[in-house]
Structure 1
Amino acid sequence: MQFQSELKQAKLLKRYKRFLVDIDTAQGELTIHCANTGRMTGCADSGFTAYYSTSSNAKRKYPHSLELTQNQAGDLICVNTSMANHVVAEAIAKQQIPELINYETLTQEVKYGDENSRIDILLSDAEKPACYIEVKSVTLLEENGQGYFPDAVTARGSKHLRELVTMKQQGHRAVLFFLIQHTGIKSVAPAAHIDANYAIEIKKALAAGVEILCYRTNISSEQIVIDTTIPFVAPQ
């Protein structure tokens, strides 16, 4: 997935009001938009390098958007969560994910389930069961390369797991896809220390046959593309 405009580099000063970030550019300080509504723990600290895009839409109050950050260890982090679905959909379309190849059609944001949800990606084929894919962007890194999801309590995330279980019970494939968008993360685990209920729902989903895929990404200031799989550490 290529960025639509050239990314420029700056120094991150602070994030506030969730959607705003102040950066220090060669031309002076600038306030830019941040599409990430999460806590962004360890992803937007003062002093990090910031990479931002510029929109051609003259109606935007803040024409610049934060796309990537780089921490003191040199790890690149995609903080624009809207990129995740596009990266996975593009990789599937290019047959780059062996577990998800040979489907006739790919559709996105399809209404489904009993809890008024939308599935991120739906793969369909006349010769096999439909495949429901929920994509989660993973950027929380703690110690020794261990990544976690979620980075905050997520009732919505638990709902998505219940919906996937229902789809599996109805005879479809159901996939929870962790897209690792932090180059320092080497494995992924449910963050039971942050959201114990989410870890419980993960255990229920695994028992019901929901598949979990974890793929890291190759991140640069030009593009984000699927890389290799990394281990998933299942809850005990």
Structure 2
Amino acid sequence: MIYQHIKNGTFISRPNRFIAHVELEGQTVVCHVKNTGRCRELLIPGVKVILEYHPDAAAAGRKTEYDLIGVYKGGILINMDSQAPNRAAWEWLDAQESIPGLPGWAPDSLQREVTHGDSRFDLAFTLNEINGSGTRPAFMEVKGVTLETDGMAMFPDAPTERGIKHLHGLEKAVQEGYEAYVLFVIQMKGVHGFRPNDTTHPAFGDALRAAARAGVHVLAYDCTITPDTMTVDAPVAVILE
């Protein structure tokens, strides 16, 4: 996935979840923050941030000309656009010759935002048997990860009852004969593992472990990040216990 019209700024403040004040070329500009999470460990006054400029903002009815999409944490560039993981996951899954966690099966016929029962999953697709004629329906829920401590990526950075509901929905889908995946897209490089953030939301960690025991495939991948791109890259070890 590619951004247009990238600019570099310096973070000043975040008055609320939706906007930030950023110093850009000697002026203070108001930016839309494309992540409603807390991001307290990232958005610290003085850090360098990446903005996407929208020259057609007024014509498009936007309130701001800029989106805050990335931040530097030390020497690591972190994409913090909460819409990016779904887009990047689609591109990644569409390019897979076989599905991780189920060798011998290839994803096909991808769809976005598919409702099943009382759940709405980010991706739905068909798995085709590579050396046979079998097919399996599948769902995937995608979670973006921006929280990192000492090389360990963690999710969530704030309690998420919605996330627990998604996991329960995936469990139910497995019981009904579907393949089900939760993909944690780690929006940075430089991590050596992923685990649920039991300190912030122990109920989510419990739900993730229960989903894994029920047959939901739990995947975590890091991303190659540049100021104007994000690409799902390499698998990261998932630590549940």
TM-score range for the pair, normalised by the shorter chain length = over 0.9
Q: CA deviation digits over 1:77-106, x for unaligned, max 9?
A: 111100110000011112277428623300
Query: Which letter maps to 1:2?
Result: I
Q: What secondary structure is seen at the aligned counterpart in 1 of 2:62?
A: coil
Matches of 2:26 and 2:212, distance apart in 1: 51
Seq. identity, %: 27
Aligned to 1:92: 93
Gaps of 5+ in 2: 129-133
User: Which has the higher mean CA deviation after the structures are superposed, 91-100 or 121-130?
Assistant: 91-100
Task: Please tell me the residue identity of whatever aligns with 2:221.
Answer: Y
Give the equivalent residue in structure 2 for 1:232. Answer: 238
Per-residue CA distance 1:156-197 (angstroms, 9 max, x = gap): 011011000000111110101000003343211011111111
* Aligned pairs (5 A) from 1:38-77: 38-55=37-54, 56-58=56-58, 59-71=61-73, 73-77=74-78
Per-residue CA distance 1:6-60 (angstroms, 9 max, x = gap):
2100111111210011111114111111121111131211111111112223221
The answer as to whether partners of 2:57 and 2:63 remain within 8 angstroms in 1 is no
Q: Residue 203 of structure 1 aligns to a residue in which SS?
A: helix
| One-letter code aligned to 1:77 | I
Matching residue within 204, 216, 228 for 1:222: 228
CA RMSD in angstroms, aligned pairs only: 1.6
Task: Indicate which of 166, 180, 186 corresponds to 2:186.
Answer: 180
Aligned partner of residue 23 in structure 1, secondary structure: strand
- Which structure 1 residue ranges, 5 or more long, are not aligned? none
Structure 1 residues 214 and 20, CA, compared in 2 at 3 Å: closer, same or farther?
Answer: same
Distance 1:124 1:231 in 2: 26
Matches within 5 A, 1:173-212: 173-212=179-218
CA distance in 2, matches of 1:111, 1:220: 33
1:146 aligns with 2:152: yes
Task: Specify whether residues 97 and 31 from structure 1 end up closer, same or farther in structure 2 by C-alpha distance, changes over 3 A only.
Answer: farther
Structure 1 contact 41–140 (Cα < 8 Å) conserved: no
TM-score of the two chains, using structure 2 as the length reference? 0.90
Count of aligned residue pairs for this structure pair = 230
Structure 2 distance, partners of 1:85, 1:26, is 32
Deviation at 1:136, TM superposition (A): 0.4
- TM-score by length of structure 1 reads 0.92
Question: CA deviation digits over 1:121-178, x for unaligned, max 9?
Answer: 1012573211110000111112x20111111111001101100000011111010100
CA distance in 2, matches of 1:15, 1:27: 18
Q: Choose which of 141, 144, 154 in structure 2 pairs with 1:134.
A: 141
Contact in 2 for aligned 1:190/1:199 (Cα 8 Å): yes
Deviates more, 1:121-130 or 1:16-25: 121-130
